[in-house]
Amino acid sequence: MSDVAIGLDVGGTKTLGVLVNREGVILDELKSSTPHDAQGGAGAATGKVLSEQVATFAQRHELDLATLPIGIGMPGMVRRDGRLAFAPNLQTVSGASFPELLKELLGSELVFMENDGNCAALGEYAWGAGRGVENFVMVTLGTGIGGGIIADGELVRGQSGFGGEIGHMAVEARGALCGCGGYGCWERYASGGGLARLTFEWAAEGRLPQLVELCGGAQNVRGEDVTRAANEGLVEALTLMNDVAWWLARGLANLVAILDTGHFVIGGGLSVVADLLLPSAREHLVDFTFGYDRRPPIVVVTSDLTVHAGALGAAKVAFDRQP
């Protein structure tokens, strides 16, 4: 059994690789751009980037590729057999089998794939803000909402491996169109992308008059302008952030109703403004949650592992699934 594993977190723009020991300590780290190049078949360009990172780690640390466990976190629907069924934000890799590609390129035998949100949940469960918490949900607020569910101490993988796609839970059945083709998905309201969309709408509707003036037109107001202004105390920006928190709490309350979870770990890009979101989300949760006062207090905290959650979790997958 190897004392170290590699975790590779493939994002829409960047791929982050880490070399990790069994205590979850990052020994080395690499960052590359994620290619969006369809040449050579499904995932060939991405497979090349991954194999370069693995080869670099192996060379720097004199590791044996045949026995080195490797975990890959992918943004998309990852089948239990490790094949990627569908990656809406990374179309060129849909259908790819990275375990096969890495075996071909490097002779790697121990390569395992998992959805990136599920990886983040496993990372936080092992070494982060979900440590020792047998029932919690990881909620990654990026362009969309990713996540992973830990129930009774186990990752919920589901029938095919597609479990935990919490961002596509409908919270407004006739609401905004989502990238998945559905309407009113949670991620269109409570993510960084949701904030951007609401900002655009509110600016056009005249609900952000000071920001529109400051930015020189309704079309120029961005989500970042709203968070900056909210941090400075501008009331209209705080009102919009409270609306995002309201939507966030809507989805969290649904998850509580279904899973009876009492603990949420919030990560992703938007979690840098957790101070603007979480206090009011916690308040809304009191109103939205079925039987709130019959439950222990619901904990909503930010991620400990932040940008490394997915890569660390991918390494954990590699440690856990190697035969």
Binding positions for Zn ion, rule: CB under 5 A: 168, 178, 180, 182, 185
114 versus 165: smaller Cβ distance to Zn ion:
165
Q: How far is the CB of 158 from Zn ion (least distance, A)?
A: 17
Smallest distance, Å, CB 149 to Zn ion? 17
Instruction: Choose between 180 and 274: whose C-beta lies nearer to Zn ion.
Output: 180
Residue among 180 and 238 whose Cβ is closer to Zn ion: 180
Q: Please, what is the minimum distance in Å from the beta carbon of residue 144 to Zn ion?
A: 8
In the chain, at which residue ranges do the beta strands (DSSP E only) sit?
Answer: 4-10, 14-21, 26-33, 70-74, 77-78, 84-86, 111-115, 136-141, 145-151, 154-155, 263-267, 299-302
Using alpha carbons only, how large is the chain's radius of gyration in Å?
A: 20
- In terms of phi and psi (left: phi > 0; alpha: psi -120 to 50; beta: otherwise), the region of 113 is beta
The rounded distance, in Å, linking the Cα atoms of 214 and 255 is 39
Q: Closest distance between Zn ion and the C-beta of residue 191, in Å? A: 11
Distance in angstroms (rounded) separating the CA atoms of residues 272 and 288 = 24
Query: Closer CB to Zn ion, residue 49 or residue 178?
Result: 178
Residue type for position 193: G
Tell me how far, at minimum, the Cβ of 170 lies from Zn ion, in Å. Answer: 8
CA distances to 70, 190, 236, 286 from 249, in Å: 36, 9, 20, 9
Cα gap 17→275, rounded to integer Å? 29
Rounded to a whole number of angstroms, the minimum distance from the CB of residue 177 to Zn ion is 9
Residues 31 and 8 sit within 8 Å (Cβ to Cβ): no
Nearest CB to Zn ion, comparing residues 178 and 203? 178
For the bound state, the minimum distance from the C-beta of residue 183 to Zn ion, rounded and expressed in Å, comes to 8
**C-beta closer to Zn ion: residue 182 or 269:** 182
* Closer to Zn ion by Cβ: residue 74 or 171: 171
Three-state secondary-structure class, residue 259: helix
Name which of 188 and 284 has its Cβ closer to Zn ion. 188
User: Smallest gap, in angstroms, from Cβ of residue 258 to Zn ion?
Assistant: 17
Q: Cα dist. 79→17, 32, 51, 92, 115 in Å?
A: 22, 25, 21, 17, 9
- Measured in degrees and rounded to the nearest 5, phi and psi for residue 63 equal -105, 150
Type of residue found at 245: A
Bridge partners, 137 (sequence order): 149, 264
Q: How far apart are CA 263 and CA 304, in angstroms?
A: 14
